[in-house]
Structure 1
């Protein structure tokens, strides 16, 4: 082998090795694996993260697992959180994190009721004699319901994630995740509940947001962009493509989840416009706007959860990585199959 050829071969090996190098990324969710996490698992299962140069590990949350402190501590790179209330709290408390994408245009938080009891209209729910609401809900969105829609504390009883009390009382209303509890009610109670999304009545927060550290945005913007883009494409493929591998991966992580439940949840996400609606239709999944963040904060100030000016909204979220129509071409191809 002559010297020139040897150097050319070495250069090719080095180039190939660099091309195959993957940035290791740890991403934590806020609950056990389920269809509401499907797009992230899809990007892992179908190789989308790998195509974007990412070696992603997903760490699921759960009732005994709190992944939130891991992000500011630098033990994970990205975190999936519920809605903007968590992000407002982080900024208020000086926690150096920022939202880089919002995978759900609508928060799936809902109130559910028995059919045929006069609760088909949202306004009637405030007259229910019993409202089963978990403690964290009582101190957050219930306060908004009181101020905005006239609900009363007198009817409150704690919801302990047991459907028994709700199923036993046809006049009761209960909180629920709109892509989960209605499925459980139908399976256990053998009826379709009335479901009212708070998002359809003014609760304007984004949900299933991706947070990272502010120093990651500053020092590794390319890494953030690739993770956001790949996650968006993962969600497009999960909703509209072949999701068998992602479902299998989630059932392995969370054996309590069934395929039938996940497919029913996907159908509800599509029906309710949880992921792909609003700003996402034209700008792509993950879309956000400063105006909507400000609107939701104003609502929470009115509800008494924060004081005006208490949170620097410029630090809550950055639009640097979204609103770029990522995934719209993939959706168009899948729709045209």
Structure 2
């Protein structure tokens, strides 16, 4: 959820992950001296733990990372998580983010490599009241919109439809939306609608970015130097992660939800159930046009070529400055089923 400015619950995070490490530490004392050491991986989340991180928390809670020889620490994020900067400086080996924004950071010189999909389609949308007269992107001309000023989709809309609008900086709240029937704002549609209806307003409708031709991934990003030195560990991580996502959306999510609530007590069962159901119903993990689960985690070079063309056309990077192979790799994903 990208809805409210929640404090990063460091103490709770340390308690959860500290406890998860204490038992293996005790076990290792009894193990033979030749037992292989676990590879430690820090994963920087983009937000506080919620169902968008379901694959990570399910794999962690089920013990699948540790089974793969990994000691994984999931670090909560927030409004100023600075995921890409933490990856680039080695403070985290892996992080969660958005694919197009990460292209720009790569062009700026940050060492980043996109290695797996979180969601096949990023769920950032415009939220509108049901009776709002705006029904397409062209009708946004002259409107006020609350959104993150750095959202590249805004520049894309201005160019594609030759329109302009006023941006109100995002404040991670839905209170203005609830109070004003003309209000339009950016949101994660697997989260904000729950809080809108909980606040007494009708369920919103959406303008989906992909309907305008802007189809980004929610993505896992790795430090490329670390990936090159630890290819087996990254492959093991992604295999466990994909297993975690499939179990989270097809099986019992209790293990992941329990862990999420320990770190982020503002999670309640109703929200977790709502967000997970939206992820499943909208087929965000498997792909909106998918007929099975074979695309979980997969990223497509052709889509990255399209995304690079978008930022080139917007003059955000020079034409040809980045190749697809500079920004993403499928080398660490499990073999296609």
The interval holding the TM-score normalised by the smaller chain is 0.7 to 0.9
Shift of 1:190: 2.9
Q: Secondary structure at the match of 2:97?
A: strand
Equivalent position of 1:77 in the other structure: 93
More helix by share: 1
Q: Is the 8 A contact 2:83 2:96 kept in 1?
A: no
Residues 1:61 and 2:77 are matched in the alignment: yes
Q: Is the 8 A contact 2:45 2:81 kept in 1?
A: no
Shift of 1:136: 2.4
Shift of 1:22: 2.4
Q: Is the 8 A contact 1:27 1:59 kept in 2?
A: yes
Give 1 or 2 for the bigger CA radius of gyration.
1
Equivalent position of 1:8 in the other structure: none
Residues 1:257 and 2:267 are matched in the alignment: yes
From 311, 315, 321, the counterpart of 1:304: 315
Equivalent position of 2:157 in the other structure: 145
Shift of 1:36: 0.6
Residues 23 and 180 (structure 1), Cα distance of their counterparts in 2 relative to 1, 3 Å cut:
same
From 158, 164, 167, the counterpart of 1:156: 167
Shift of 1:258: 1.4
Residues 118 and 128 (structure 1), Cα distance of their counterparts in 2 relative to 1, 3 Å cut:
farther
Q: Is the 8 A contact 1:205 1:296 kept in 2?
A: yes
Tell me the TM-score normalised to structure 1 length: 0.83
Structure 1 gaps, min length 5: 1-13, 327-337
Tell me the TM-score normalised to structure 2 length: 0.83
Structure 2 gaps, min length 5: 1-29
Residues 323 and 226 (structure 1), Cα distance of their counterparts in 2 relative to 1, 3 Å cut:
closer
Residues 64 and 206 (structure 1), Cα distance of their counterparts in 2 relative to 1, 3 Å cut:
closer
Instruction: Describe how 1:263-302 pairs up with structure 2 within 5 A.
Output: 263-277=273-287, 281=292, 283-302=294-313
Instruction: Describe how 1:158-197 pairs up with structure 2 within 5 A.
Output: 158-197=169-208
Residues 221 and 99 (structure 1), Cα distance of their counterparts in 2 relative to 1, 3 Å cut:
same
Equivalent position of 2:254 in the other structure: 244
CA distance in 2, matches of 1:294, 1:145: 19
CA distance in 2, matches of 1:323, 1:163: 39
Shift of 1:38: 1.2
Q: Secondary structure at the match of 2:72?
A: strand
Equivalent position of 1:108 in the other structure: 123
Instruction: Describe how 1:92-131 pairs up with structure 2 within 5 A.
Output: 92-119=107-134, 121-123=135-137, 125-126=139-140, 129-131=143-145
Alignment: residue pair count: 308
CA distance in 1, matches of 2:261, 2:207: 28
Residues 252 and 15 (structure 1), Cα distance of their counterparts in 2 relative to 1, 3 Å cut:
closer
CA distance in 1, matches of 2:197, 2:293: 34
From 216, 228, 238, the counterpart of 2:238: 228
